[in-house]
Structures are given as structure tokens and as C-alpha cells.
Amino acid sequence: MPEQGVTVGQLLLAEYQTVKDEQKARIGFRDNLLYVTLGVVAAVIAAAAQAGQPSMLLALPPVCVVLGWTYLVNDEKISAIGHYVREDLGPRLARLAAAEGEFATFGWEAYHRTDVRRRTRKAIQAVIDLTAFCAVPLAALVVFWAGRSGGALLVGLSVAEALAVVGLGAQVLLYTRPARPAGAAG
């Protein structure tokens, strides 16, 4: 009896399971970053208020930028995995299954994107992301500037932090647009 190896279909299904596992792990990590950000913000604000030191608020912008960027990168990878499954892996498996007289695809990958409220949810999520990672640290900077408690070095640092936060905000807005594969026209 001839020895049977791994089929192309089995390899593609194994790849699907691997990328979906990565996507699931990234979703959990990404979502927890919002909670971590809220905790850090609360801790820094409480410490600054208790100590009466508005300069302590300067800790928020770099923390929010790092956590926000990490959130954004993970969110992009989550979307990229979904795009890969919908546009590459799923069609390859469907062609293979059709060649064997069967039909197979990952319907959920496309179906959940057709919800009529999806755009609204995406817009609300962008507002939440901008608030958590950009508006809060900018508000902390405004409080610091209004307190006039820092010397030239701290004011210079705060301006650099403000630029970093604004840069992150621009990236959050850029990433709200639907992704296109590298090299796509348009």
C-alpha cells in the first residue's frame, strides 16, 4: 500500500488554523491594551493630583503613544489576517475543493463585514481610540501648560510629546481607511 503524505488541502487548513490562532491572540492582546491604558491614565492622574505635581502628567503622552501604537499595529495585523484569509487562503482552498467536487470557503470572513452598522462601529471605535490614546494625553499636556510649573526643559519635552501624540492621531485616522494590498493601484 503506497504511503500517503500530507495533502495541499491539509496544509492550507493548517495554515488557516495557524493564522486564525494568531488573529485570536492579537485580538485579546489589542483589546487588553485599552484597559491597560485606562489603568495607567487613572494611576498617573491620581499620583499627580495627590502629589500636587502637574509635571507628573508628562508621563501620560509617551505611555499613551507607545500603547496606542502597539494597539494600532495589532489592529492592522488582525485586519491583514482577515484580508489574507478572504482574498488568498480561502479562494485557494475553494479552488482545491471544487477540483475535488466539493465546495469550501470561509463564509464568516466575508459575511461579518456586510453588517449595515459596520461603518458606524468603525467610526465609533476610531473616536474611542483617538480619545484613549490621543485626547487624554493632550488634555494632560494642556493641564501641565496651564499650571506653568515646568521649566524650559519640561516645556520643550511637552511640545515634543504633543507632536508625538498628534502623529499617532494621524496614524489612527489613516488606519481607519480600508487597507489595500501593497502595490495595489489607486
Q: Is residue 162 part of a domain?
A: yes
**For residue range 86-130, what is the model confidence (pLDDT) as tens digits?**
889 988 888 887 765 555 577 777 777 788 898 899 899 999 999
8 A C-beta contact, residue 89 and residue 16:
yes
CA 118 centroid distance within chain? 16
Q: Is residue 3 part of a domain?
A: no
Q: Is residue 182 part of a domain?
A: no
Total number of domains in the chain: 1
Flag the least confident range among 14-23, 121-130, 175-184: 175-184
Angle at 159 between CA 155 and CA 162, to 5 degrees: 135
pLDDT at 184: 52
Q: Is residue 116 part of a domain?
A: yes
pLDDT at 140: 96
Boundaries of domain holding 127:
8-175
Q: Is residue 180 part of a domain?
A: no
pLDDT at 182: 59
The mean pLDDT of 144-166, rounded to a whole number, is 92
Angle at 15 between CA 13 and CA 20, to 5 degrees: 95
Distance between the two ends of the chain, CA-based, in angstroms?
54
pTM of the model: 0.84
The mean pLDDT of 36-45, rounded to a whole number, is 97
8 A C-beta contact, residue 60 and residue 134:
no
